[in-house]
Amino acid sequence: MARIVFVGVGDVELTRRVVSDLLLAPSLRGELEIVLHDENPGQLATAEALVRALDAEAGSVATIVTCPSRRRALDGADFVVGHIDVGGFEATLRDFEIPHRYGLRQTIGDTIGIGGIFRGLRTIPVFVELGREMAELCPDAWLLSCSDPMAMTGWAVQEATGFTRFAGVCHAVCDTHAYLADLVGRGLDEVTFLSAGLNHQSFVLRFEAEGRSLYPDLDEVLDADPELRRHVRVELYRRFGYFPTQSSEHAAEYVPWFMRHSEETARSGCVPRSTCGGWATACTCTRRRGGRCRPAGRCWCAGSTRSPRPPRSWPC
């Protein structure tokens, strides 16, 4: 039986997605021990209820355990899924507000740039501690990190602890595969994909069905849709010839051609618009076929007291 430990379960959507992937794997039916750990008792209780409901729906017959003690949770683990959001909403808000005072533009701010550095400075010590505990309690386990900045934290864990069984995971690649298949009117199981690159900077090298490339089909869809052509990732595809797996909001921060230029941010819609360093986007649809795009984001406004964090991954 595989013992998979989740360290940090406050992000309900991420927990749901990762656990669902595991529970739906036929080879893992009856072979999973899912251990949930979080320092917040309320979040831990919510995650337990969610995972038990998912297990019942999937019929996976998993063993589900909650463990307030992280060391006890890690003991004997085969895999550790880490999603640790140090500082929560208030810290993320400052990641936007402080740079905004000095004229710096950000859309997501969790991987590179000053926002990524802020997040890295508060996240690295926690992951280093986790790496040391794993080296002691489960040295043969893999630490699968869902936390950003992924490269910074992974590098720090390996340098500071010598624990090298670290890998970053992100749903952006499989989300993009589903998105592209949907755009050209294909079922995901009909399409062959090959994507490669770095975290938050990968490209779809093969997009094929029935022995031919589907990129010409995608070109037809884009040519017929002015709104789609506004997206940063579409512009990158037009320039490089391969579709990027990361969202437009993320991608705009990783290259120098958009965020520094007001006319480009206005055209693409990737514009931080509020005085508190909020974000906005022209389109955040998950599915387009058969209907209009569904907006999934809004700006943080100067007068608001609580707003959702920017989503971890955007499909558009």
> In angstroms, rounded to a whole number, what is the distance separating the alpha carbons of residues 49 and 19?
12
Question: In sequence order, which residues have a C-beta less than 8 Å from that of residue 300 and are 6 or more positions away?
Answer: 93, 96, 274, 276, 277, 278, 279, 307
Tokens representing 262 are 């007001």
CB atoms within 10 A of CB 258: 23
171 is catalytic: yes
The DSSP call for residue 64 is E
Distances (CA, A) of 230 to 73, 267, 268: 46, 6, 5
**What CA–CA distance (Å, rounded) separates 196 from 206?**
10
| Cα-to-chain-centroid distance, residue 240 | 23
Q: Exactly one of 37, 83, 171, 231 is catalytic; which is it?
A: 171
Q: Which residues are catalytic?
A: 171
